[in-house]
Structure 1
Amino acid sequence: MTNRKLLGAAVSLCCFMMMAATPASADLLDDIMKAKKIRISTDLAIPPSGMMDASMKPTGSDVEVAQLLAKDWGLELEFVQTTGATRIPNVLTGKADIIISTLSVTPERAKVIDFTNRYATLQSDIGCMKSSSVKGWPDVKDKSIGVSRGTTQDTTLSNMKDKDLKIARFDDDATMVTAAVSGQVDCVGSSATIINQIGVKNPARVFESRIPLATFDLAIGLKKGEPRLMDKLNAWIAENIKNGKLNAIYKKFHGVELPLDMRG
């Protein structure tokens, strides 16, 4: 055998041994199950989806969905507190395993993360003070509209270039609600549930939905390339829609049931 052939054989043998010695990379589902813990990115400052109770314990519809998931899978639950703008970066950087945090399914977000099937829905509106005369888009032309930065409401309103809207962006829903409560903004773009919360915090400034924006599907978000985790999450969602548990959680905190086609 020539020196060149010997060298080639040696290189091939070396590569084979390296491949054999390299363990197959575990996927995220394997990592979660091995750790016996799931880290879930959840905003705890957007009642009634996520909030702290009187004992400073997490509660809310998304919180109970996360708790149910961890219980069903026999895992310890770690909440990774987040805002609307940091939910997706949390999973992309490995800080969290999944997102359960009023995450609406949009084409833009689907370019960077994967979504499960929906587990709930979100009605988004323009909400203004009950005493205001706002009835349609022409009535908000000169009014400031508060939104939480990075949310679907922010994106939807920002794309309405023809309406010449005055958008005031805040870092999270809690700050946006505070702005509405204190009179810093005239209206808000948010979920119908959060709009109703403004009057609870300040009865002198009761807000109500005036202009429908859209109804969004809410799904669990995870980084791309995790098909086994995706399949397990979708199977879990299907089971808990069928047994009515997801509908019961939603009704408990939002006062209404999920759409008819989502009820078991």
Structure 2
Amino acid sequence: MIDITQRRSLFRLGGAGLALAAAGAALDPSRAAAQAAPTSQLRTVLDRGKLIVGTGSTNPPWHFEDDSGKLTGMDIAMARILAKGLFDDETKVDYVRQDPAARIPNITTGKVDIVIQFMTVSPARAQLVAFSRPYYVEGAALMTTPKGKWQTYKDLLAAGKQVRASVLQNVDADILVHNALPEAQVMQLDSQANTFQAITAGRADVAVVDASTVKWLVKKNPGVYTDPGYAYEAQLYSAAMRQGDPDWLHWVDTCFNVAMHGHQPEIYNAAFEEFFGEKPPVQKPGFPPI
């Protein structure tokens, strides 16, 4: 007879917990690798004993250096999740710091095992690389300051032509702003820093930036920036891998699913709260997550 304490411990092993316990077996990464195709990156990574991840270092909250010069950010947390799943050691990662333009070339040439670098999924890119399940839904969002004349999206919308909106210079910048604030005056600026500076200096009433950037800056600087509570134009962030390797792709998807929706959420949940200032939705037993 299995008591309730044993039963809970077995549940943490997943669906195979009872069978494994009865047989006295243990999960062994080297045995698991033997089940992957000999040419799979999964087998290569396990045999090597470390994961090689392509990422950046200059874009908080996704990938940046902390005060000690160590890489951190949500992308780095996703890499740690994979290392934990591969080796039961989240530190077994080598990071290749790369320009965003090198993301696809470094995958196709085999310089990295996987790219985790706030990479937006698109049908065109999916012709070149294989994307994992999404780990974040990005979007555009509005950001104001505590001193601003209009503090909510409703107020900004009602103010119409009086509103001056700063945005990073881009061919579609006017469209991006007007999809949220149809009558706003658009100020296209040459850097993201100048976009933020425009609202703190009072030259603009609102900035249009990535939703994750709003969450990060409001969390770090609550007396400097505020969130009017409006995000739009969703896009997906995923990890990217070489095409034609279903074992590797399926394993990465499985690892992300367990971290985001299953019984090993510690790294993902802690990073989400640290970098976005909020807790992810609680996963309830029952119907599978979307």
TM-score range, shorter chain: 0.5 to 0.7
What residue number does 1:15 align with? none
User: Does residue 32 in structure 1 map to residue 60 in structure 2?
Assistant: no
CA distance, structure 1, for counterparts of residue 208 and residue 128 of structure 2: 24
Equivalence map 1:1-264=2 (5 Å):
26-74=39-87, 76-128=92-144, 131=148, 135-136=156-157, 139=161, 143-146=165-168, 157=176, 168=188, 176=192, 178-183=193-198, 186=204, 188-198=207-217, 206=225, 208-209=227-228, 211-241=230-260, 242-243=262-263, 244-245=265-266, 246-259=268-281
The farther-off stretch of 215-224 and 226-235 is: 215-224
One-letter amino acid of the structure 1 residue matched with residue 131 of structure 2: F
CA deviation string 1:41-61 (max 9, x = no partner) = 222222222221111111222
Per the TM alignment, residue 70 of structure 1 is displaced from its structure 2 partner at its CA by: 1.4
What residue number does 2:27 align with? none
Q: Which of the two has greater strand per residue?
A: 1
C-alpha contact 2:54 2:95 (8 A) present in aligned 1: yes
What residue number does 1:19 align with? none
TM-score (norm 2): 0.61
Larger Rg: 1
Give the secondary structure class of the aligned counterpart of 1:54.
Answer: coil
Per the TM alignment, residue 209 of structure 1 is displaced from its structure 2 partner at its CA by: 4.8
Give the secondary structure class of the aligned counterpart of 1:101.
Answer: strand
CA distance, structure 2, for counterparts of residue 220 and residue 214 of structure 1: 20
Per the TM alignment, residue 231 of structure 1 is displaced from its structure 2 partner at its CA by: 1.0
What residue number does 1:9 align with? none
One-letter amino acid of the structure 2 residue matched with residue 82 of structure 1: Q
TM-score (norm 1): 0.66
Structure 2 residues without counterparts, runs of 5 or longer: 1-36
CA distance, structure 1, for counterparts of residue 79 and residue 51 of structure 2: 9
Per the TM alignment, residue 98 of structure 1 is displaced from its structure 2 partner at its CA by: 1.1
The farther-off stretch of 126-135 and 53-62 is: 126-135
CA distance, structure 2, for counterparts of residue 168 and residue 41 of structure 1: 31
One-letter amino acid of the structure 2 residue matched with residue 112 of structure 1: L
Give the secondary structure class of the aligned counterpart of 1:221.
Answer: strand
Alignment: residue pair count: 230
Residues 167 and 235 (structure 1), Cα distance of their counterparts in 2 relative to 1, 3 Å cut: farther
The farther-off stretch of 233-242 and 80-89 is: 80-89
C-alpha contact 2:216 2:275 (8 A) present in aligned 1: no
Residues 112 and 188 (structure 1), Cα distance of their counterparts in 2 relative to 1, 3 Å cut: farther
CA distance, structure 2, for counterparts of residue 167 and residue 95 of structure 1: 40
Residues 167 and 261 (structure 1), Cα distance of their counterparts in 2 relative to 1, 3 Å cut: farther
CA deviation string 1:94-152 (max 9, x = no partner) = 332212223333333323222112233334314355626582496599754116x8xxx
Per the TM alignment, residue 203 of structure 1 is displaced from its structure 2 partner at its CA by: 8.4
Per the TM alignment, residue 205 of structure 1 is displaced from its structure 2 partner at its CA by: 6.2
What residue number does 2:20 align with? none
Residues 42 and 208 (structure 1), Cα distance of their counterparts in 2 relative to 1, 3 Å cut: same
Residues 212 and 253 (structure 1), Cα distance of their counterparts in 2 relative to 1, 3 Å cut: closer
CA distance, structure 2, for counterparts of residue 68 and residue 121 of structure 1: 18
